[in-house]
Structure 1
Amino acid sequence: MNSHGAFEFPPLHSFAPFYTLQPNIQTAQTQIEHWGQLVLSYCAVHRRFTIDAYGEFEQVGPLFRNEALDRAASPELIRLILAHLVSKGRAVYDPPLPRGVKAPTIEKTPSDSRTNARSASSGIVYAPSDATAYRATIYWKLPEEWADALASWVSDTGQNGSIFTLFELVHGDFGKKYGELPLSLLRLAIEVLTKRGRAQLVKGTGDGEWADGVKIV
């Protein structure tokens, strides 16, 4: 396996056809599933919460690009990977899809130049003004798992019954340990704890949703 920092890429990452959507639908589905697992694993190791098909990291970073092969995944291929993760409950579009707009599918994606591998040295491709379904929050831990992690951290640090602002949880010691969670994901984890009787949301006195607090028992 090829390594990059603390992450080791699977052999598929060094397989040139992996970067072009395969013409056979079943093969393409398996390909996208492998990409989805790779994205989840990479994001978990690097504490990355957002994937943007037109983002700079996604186009020049190591996840969707292999310099030795001179191959890189196209934004259209990345959009299909995100659609797969969303369909499996492992990601959510941010921003949400406009009403009436559907996520891309392999079946309705033509196997043309848009889904061919790009050169690793290609320039940045910017999102069209009407682009949709190209950015998502990645759930490398599900909200229920984040709820478990938050409850365990509070217990392990002897802070049961304490009140934390949402800003403090994201940017304080919990965030330093697990990564700076998107506020939307943190709120979902708190909702899980609330349903379990382990948390109570406290309305903040300041401006903005970051001022809200939560009491965790």
Structure 2
Amino acid sequence: MYELNITESLGQPPFRNDKIGRNLTEESLQIILDEMVKRGRAEWINVDGTKQCLIYWLRIDEWADIIKHWVEDKGLNGTMCTLYEITQDEDRSNEQLLGLDERILMKALRFLEKDGKAILVQIDDSYGVKFL
């Protein structure tokens, strides 16, 4: 995942090309990002009143599928896991989940919950998940 600040990014590559003296307009970048949002590859966020977009390497449903396969491979169906256990797996059985941003992880877990594959449980100020 990448957090893109539109205002700051317009003056930087790949949105600016000094060799040909051109740069993408904010309107053009907005159109591109809106299309990415429609396709599930990005999400608009508001951080301190600035236009920002989360760019996903994978769609949320694809992350959910990776988590589901990890659960199956490790035999974790019916067990409870912390978010830390999912993203910091000690045996490195799934490099894709290692260090996954918690915002993406929570969206993927909510996707699995909606699909009846998991139950999110709030534990103090954090969450755990029971895989079904």
Q: TM-score, normalised by structure 1?
A: 0.47
Q: Which residue of 2 aligns with 1:185?
A: 104
Aligned pairs for 1:70-89 (under 5 A) are 70-89=21-40
Residue type of the alignment partner of 1:147: A
Q: CA RMSD in A?
A: 3.3
* Contact 1:49–1:182 (Cα < 8 Å) also in 2: no
- Larger of the two Rg values belongs to structure: 1
Distance in 2 (alpha carbons) for counterparts of 1:53 and 1:200: 36
Distance 1:179 1:49, change over 3 A: farther
Q: Secondary structure at the match of 1:63?
A: coil
Distance in 1 (alpha carbons) for counterparts of 2:115 and 2:35: 30
Aligned pairs for 1:1-217 (under 5 A) are 48-55=1-8, 59-60=11-12, 62-66=13-17, 68-95=19-46, 134-170=51-87, 172-173=88-89, 176-178=95-97, 180-205=99-124, 207=125, 211-217=126-132
Deviation for aligned residue 1:166: 2.5
Distance 1:52 1:167, change over 3 A: farther
Q: Which one has the bigger strand percentage?
A: 2
Distance in 2 (alpha carbons) for counterparts of 1:92 and 1:150: 20
Identity %: 33
Q: Secondary structure at the match of 1:185?
A: helix
Q: TM-score, normalised by structure 2?
A: 0.69
What CA deviation, in whole Å up to 9, does each residue of 1:129-168 have, x standing for no partner? Answer: 965xx21122442222211111112222344344222344
